Structure 1
Amino acid sequence: MIDLFAGCGGMTSGFTAAGFRPVLAVEWDLHAAATYAANFGAGHVRWADITTVTDVPEADVVIGGPPCQGFSNLGSRDVDDPRNQLWKQYLRIVREVRPAAFVIENVDRFLSSSEFGLLQAEVRPGGLLSGYHLTSGLLLAADFGVPQRRKRAFVIGSREGAIPLPTPTHPSWHGVRTVLHGLPEKPAATALPKSTVEYFGQTVPGRFTSADLHLGRNPTALSLARYQVVPPGGGRFDLPDHLLPRCWREKKTGTTDVMGRMRWDEPSLTIRTEFYKPEKGQYLHPQWEPGPSGHRVDRPITHLEAARLQTFPDDFTWCGSKIEIARQIGNAVPPVLAEAIGRHVAAHLGGTKAESACRLCV
């Protein structure tokens, strides 16, 4: 397999668990590329702009998620955003490699974009990807064993006949308790250890273990007062007027998940790149009991907790600053979801048909 726009390796983690072997990974962000190399080896990783990558090896499958901020509900929705043109580089490499199948991951808006329309045109007779059959749709990570309501668009292209999207494997969803229960409620540190490692001739912070990522913060008295009054499933509308910033006081609708608290026995909402900021989403720890003596954990989730909600295994190691690692976590495809897709694709291509239990279920 080849992983383009590989990030820290969420898709590779899942596809290797499904039996694939990576022969090339391309990632332009140094710290994400270093994290990938730390976990899967540096020999096949190219820290480079994808437009400069040539001489790609043969592969059965090409996977990847071209940058999609311009399509995102949180972005500018600008179809001319240069980040949205990088999907063409993905297609260039698919055309050169001619794998049996390719998989694209993107935000849900991708399926209604002009770029997706052009992709569909390229698989028609005479197009750049003539001979491929496309299947596309939305997958909800919680349906595949990920304790997170993360919905993303997936496109599977195949030269072996159309490959349908995988069907849900988990009609009963995992709650956040599955991965958060048992972790220390009070993190012992607020900063990463001072250590560095060299990849691609560059020195970067790392390698950090999962335990190193269980990092606390130092909230202000105002922030702490806000955290204390938000119950599980609640958010900014639970704050009394004297704790509301002016922008929230004047905005009576929308942004319902900000300053939100998770529920133990439900999946989290989407883990984004700034999960350590409760004002950005439902990122408060789920432990909260009513009453003046109720047991509460009044803090946002840690980097380790976010990585677990994304289903990264605890033996995964990380490179970069706290902000850079948070970006890697939030941008990744959950490995457990990627594994389900990888096994599904392998079965249709005549590879292993073995099913494995979701590791969160055993």
Structure 2
Amino acid sequence: MKHKLIDLFSGCGGMTLGFVHPDFCGKFESVFALDNDPAAVDSYRANFGDHAQCGDIEEWVKSGRTPKADIVIGGPPCQGFSLLNKKRRNDHRRALWEPYMDIVALSGARVFVIENVQGLLKSEEFGEITTRADELGFETTSGLLNAADYGAPQTRKRAFIIGWKRSEVTPVSFPPQQTHTSDEANKSLPRWRTVRDMIADLPEPEELEIRNEPAPLNLHFRRNPTEKSMMRYRAVPPGGNRFDLQKNRPDITPQCWIKKTSGGTDLFGRLWWDRPSVTIRTEFFKPEKGRYLHPEQHRPITHREAARLMGFPDEFIFTGTKIEIARQIGNAVPPDMAAAVAEVVAEVLRQKTKKAA
């Protein structure tokens, strides 16, 4: 029997994919998912079934329609904890862990998993979450994981809190053991997966829109840059960034970058072929937002390349506009990282099920 799973703030389902798909963990079954982004919910339904709902989590708590499940997973919106959010102390999104925990209680789950940005572990809310979990009968543990250590082709660091019912489940051993490494001397583990591993086989993109053809080319489309943008792309060498642009072509470098002489080393940067990608965010198609230029072609990465660098298989279905799909990709949990957490939880639940039998 597969363990029943609820995914809250599910997005398109990257975390669910790591738990339920046989190519990842495959020991869970999604029975309910909730998100307030209609396009993301449509993608979730296309991949996992019609049990995903689009709505407000606080209203759902009041509805009394929460199904029973073995585990609740999810990432309350991370912007409230993000260092990029300068007004985060009064951000209402910081409180969305509360209805999340309400659904943990209503579902009768024996385990919960919260995923978020690094700032969660040093926030006031971290203590509040663990206190609420204790009141509900959960023990908790937490840690910071690097997605690349678990097979994702991306150096994305994310915080996890795992809780388990102390009366029903044995303690969770966390973090999971690494499955991949950057240490070339360590021959016992495969090396980190790289940008080259994931996108080198793709041809240069030709179309400007989502293509009505099978994956991977459906999402492998280019932008339509201005001539000035093209000159800027050409001025950035392999592995370079905005400082190389300024050195090589100061005449076309934005004045705001010239005046800012430090920081932002990833801005307008090229990905490295033989390293994992940097963190893929929602505006990866804008190179001024990060290291999102192709390693050698004069363009930002495509939606398909971004999806692969997140760890999504080509057969995963994304629905919506270009902007909506980019948001789904950038907000997702890398499925490989989710699968590593899923394996830890599955072993704990397996032991409990075996004991009960």
Shorter-chain TM band: 0.7 to 0.9
Q: Which residue of 55, 59, 75 maps to 1:48?
A: 55
In 1, are the aligned partners of 2:211 and 2:217 still within 8 Å (CA)?
no
TM superposition score normalised by structure 1: 0.87
Q: Runs of at least 4 residues of structure 1 off by over 2 A?
A: 207-211
Shift of 1:26: 0.5
Give me the identity figure in percent. 52
Match of 2:259 in 1: 250
2:13 maps to which of 9, 15, 24: 9
| Pick aligned residue for 2:34 from 26, 35, 43 | 26
Q: Mark the runs of 5 or more structure 1 residues left unpaired by the alignment.
A: 195-206, 288-296, 353-362
Task: Give the distance between the partners of 2:124 and 2:215, measured in 1 at CA.
Answer: 41
> In structure 1, what residue type is equivalent to 2:20?
T
Match in the other structure for 1:138:
144
**What secondary structure, in the 3-state scheme, does the structure 2 residue paired with 1:2 have?**
strand
Task: Determine if contact 1:6/1:27 at 8 Å carries over to the other structure.
Answer: yes
Counterpart pick for 1:75 among 70, 77, 85: 85
Indicate whether 1:179 and 2:186 are aligned. Answer: no
Q: More helix per residue: 1 or 2?
A: 2
Whole-angstrom distance in 2 between the partners of 1:61 and 1:169 = 24
The amino acid across from 2:54 in the alignment is: W
Instruction: Please say if 1:162 is aligned against 2:168.
Output: no
AA paired with 1:299? Answer: R
Aligned residue type for 1:134: T
**Is there any run of 5+ residues in structure 2 with no aligned partner, and where?**
182-190, 353-357
Question: Matched residue pairs, number?
Answer: 325
- Within the candidate set 271, 279, 293, 2:280 is matched to 271
Instruction: Provide TM-score, normalisation by structure 2.
Output: 0.88
| Alpha carbons of structure 1 residues 214 and 85: separation in structure 2 relative to 1, 3 Å | same
| Whole-Å separation in 2 of the counterparts to 1:86 and 1:211 | 37
Superposition deviation, residue 304 in structure 1: 0.2
Aligned to 1:304: 304
Alignment correspondent of 1:200? none
Name the structure 2 match of 1:192.
Answer: 210
- Aligned match for 1:110, one of 106, 120, 142: 120
Kept in 1, the 8 Å contact 2:171–2:348? The answer is no
Provide the aligned C-alpha RMSD in A: 1.6
CA distance in 2, matches of 1:273, 1:337: 19
Query: Counterparts of 1:277-316 in structure 2 under 5 Å?
Result: 277-287=286-296, 297-316=297-316
Determine if contact 1:230/1:261 at 8 Å carries over to the other structure.
yes
